[in-house]
Structure 1
Amino acid sequence: MVHLHVEKTIAAPPDKVFAWLADPVNLKTAPLIVTAGWARDSPPPGLGAIRTGFAIGLWFREEIVAYDPPHSYTYLIVGSVPMFDHEGGTLTFTPDGDGTHVDWVSTYTHPRAAAAKRWRRSPPSSCRGTFPLSSTVARRLWNARQVAGQ
């Protein structure tokens, strides 16, 4: 099992940071993400909405399972190739001075027998770059100037 935990304080208000990170179009700023967006069959952004994306070596479909703007949202990968057993990911947004403290936690298991032991110890760098909002992705996504619209 892999447990990812990333924290970052961004120089922008919580509502802007929340909206920017919840919009899957912005995942395209991450390394190896080729395309991302709302699924064609998705309800409007919010609870129950479906995000999809393609990255080098990964396709994913996520459902927003909790949505409390601008405080937090939780997503669950409900489909992917290669397959992941995803226990969920939650992003929490807390005012911090003139900015926003973002806390992101996600837990998953890669069930493929041949790779399972390696993935449980440490996900390969290719996964860190393609798995949504991993630490590498977060560093690029959480650029304060992008979020603040500057």
Structure 2
Amino acid sequence: MPVVKMQRSIAAPIEVVFDAYTDHAALALVPGILSATVVRPGDTEPNGLGAIREVNAGIAWFREEITAFDRPVLMEYRIRKALPPLQHRLGRVEFESTSPGTTLITWTSEFDSPPGIGFVFSPASKLIASAAFSWVLKCLDDRIGS
């Protein structure tokens, strides 16, 4: 099972970083992402627990459900449907205030390798996911970090 873990410190308060990361509309500001929409709002807020959102990145499309939402320290999601097909176990994004005005984001995602081609899929999927997560976090930092 491939696991991708990425961390980045952003020079902004935890509440600002959490809100910026979890805002689906802001995800569409990342170059390479064509659209990000909430197709079902969350139980208490649009991007919160129970929300289902779709992300179109041109070469890939995802429908994900927010499965945990603990403002401002945790968001978990699970990709329920994807093109190309993807077997996703867990996405977990943790936010930690490491000093006044600085937030550490830890983004972990777990995938299952497709039967029969896991020996090829696992390394490639880890590289692609690592690059994508790094890019999203860099763009977030560029947008809100100081």
TM over 0.5: yes
Matched residue, 2:37: 37
- Asked if 2 retains the 8 angstrom alpha-carbon contact of 1:83 and 1:110, the reply is no
1:61 maps to 63
Residue of structure 1 in register with 2:4 after alignment: 4
SS in 2 for 1:142: helix
Q: Give the alignment of 1:98-113 within 5 angstroms.
A: 98-111=101-114, 113=116
Q: Do the aligned partners of 2:4 and 2:126 also contact (CA within 8 Å) in 1? A: no
Structure 1, gaps ≥5 residues long:
none
Query: Are the equivalent residues in 1 in contact too, given 2:4–2:129 (CA < 8 A)?
Result: no
Residue 80 of structure 1: how far off its partner (Å): 0.9
Provide the C-alpha distance between the structure 2 equivalents of 1:2 and 1:141, rounded to a whole number of angstroms.
25
Percent identity at matched positions?
Answer: 30
Amino acid at match of 2:114: P
Counterpart secondary structure, 1:70: coil
CA contact (8 A) 1:109 1:119 kept: no
Q: CA deviation at 1:113?
A: 4.9
Normalising by structure 2, what TM-score?
0.84
Scaled by the length of structure 1, the TM-score of the pair is 0.82
Aligned partner of residue 123 in structure 1, secondary structure:
helix
Cα distance change, pair 56–121 in 1 and its aligned pair in 2 (3 A): same
RMSD: 2.3
The Cα of 1:23 is off from its aligned counterpart by: 1.1
Aligned residues: 142
Task: Give structure 2 stretches of 5+ with no counterpart.
Answer: none
